[in-house]
């Protein structure tokens, strides 16, 4: 018979760390570049991130609080998503520093701007995959009682895609080759993926 730790989040989890992030994990990382109206560039990682639609492709991330990325994207309607990879892990981490608005985290993290084609925010030149995105919805989240909370879901349509051709094998994008990093739980856990962890399963019917 199983013995469950049960809790109701509103009353606290009763553990040393909130387990939510470790349970819903590992999560892909939205490494988001944006620009304010004056053209100042910003870069930050968001692991409350995922893809939500194929056609048109829609991706999104949630900002806990009204952060610079949200402010810039609301103002300009554009952002670039970049793939965070194992070789770029430390740079990704450096780009989350809580610095003043207007400080370009590309510089802090030793990264280079690559020009985008359809939007103004630059891509991370060192990243092997980037998406150019246009804001489609900016949604303030609500709690179960209907009360507005200070968390902002940014959804955007992917209007252009850049893939390093080294990640394509006979026309198929290979996830393992890109060495993406994923965010686990706790203050510092990340996961890498490798070929040994791949398994295949086809849908019924």
Residues touching ligand FMN, count (CB under 6 A): 17
75, 89, 94, 96: residue in contact with ligand FMN (rule CB under 6 A) = 96
Nearest to 133 by CA among 34, 42, 199: 34
Query: What are the b/e assignments for 56-70, b being 16+ CB within 10 Å?
Result: eebbbbbbeeebbbb
Among 75-83, 92-100, 130-138, 161-169, the segment contacting ligand FMN (CB under 6 A): 92-100
Sequence-distant (6+) residues with CB within 8 A of 155 are 52, 58, 59, 60, 135, 136, 137, 138, 139
41, 44, 88, 111: residue in contact with ligand FMN (rule CB under 6 A) = 44
Q: State how far Cα 45 lies from the chain centre.
A: 6
Question: Rule CB under 6 A: which of 113-152 touch ligand FMN?
Answer: none
Identity of the residue, 29 or 178, whose beta carbon is nearer to ligand FMN in the bound complex: 29
- Verify binding: residue 35, ligand FMN, rule CB under 6 A: no
Identity of the residue, 37 or 203, whose beta carbon is nearer to ligand FMN in the bound complex: 37
CA dist 35 and 14 (Å) reads 41
Q: For the CB of residue 190, give the shortest distance to ligand FMN in the complex, in Å.
A: 7
- Verify binding: residue 42, ligand FMN, rule CB under 6 A: yes
Identity of the residue, 24 or 168, whose beta carbon is nearer to ligand FMN in the bound complex: 24
CA dist 85 and 137 (Å) reads 27
Q: Is 144 left (phi over 0), alpha (psi -120 to 50) or beta?
A: alpha
Interface residues with ligand FMN (CB under 6 A) are 29, 42, 44-48, 62-64, 67-69, 93, 96, 98, 183
């Amino acid at each position: 018979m199983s013995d469950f730790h049960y809790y109701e989040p509103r009353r606290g989890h009763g553990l040393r760390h909130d387990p939510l992030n470790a349970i819903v994990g590992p999560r892909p990382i939205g490494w988001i570049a944006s620009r304010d109206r004056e053209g100042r560039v910003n870069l930050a990682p968001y692991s409350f991130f995922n893809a939500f639609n194929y056609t048109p492709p829609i991706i999104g991330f949630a900002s806990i609080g009204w952060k610079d990325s949200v402010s810039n994207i609301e103002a300009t309607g554009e952002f670039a998503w970049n793939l965070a990879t194992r070789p770029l892990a430390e740079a990704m981490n450096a780009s989350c520093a809580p610095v003043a608005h207007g400080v370009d985290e590309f510089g802090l993290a030793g990264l280079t701007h690559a020009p985008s084609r359809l939007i103004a925010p630059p891509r991370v030149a060192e990243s092997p995959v980037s998406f150019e995105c246009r804001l489609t919805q900016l949604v303030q989240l609500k709690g179960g009682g209907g009360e507005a909370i200070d968390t902002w879901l940014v959804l955007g349509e992917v209007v252009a895609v850049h893939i390093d051709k080294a990640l394509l094998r006979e026309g198929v994008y290979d996830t393992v080759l890109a060495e993406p990093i994923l965010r686990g739980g706790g203050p510092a856990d990340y996961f890498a993926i490798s070929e040994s962890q791949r398994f295949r399963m086809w849908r019924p019917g």
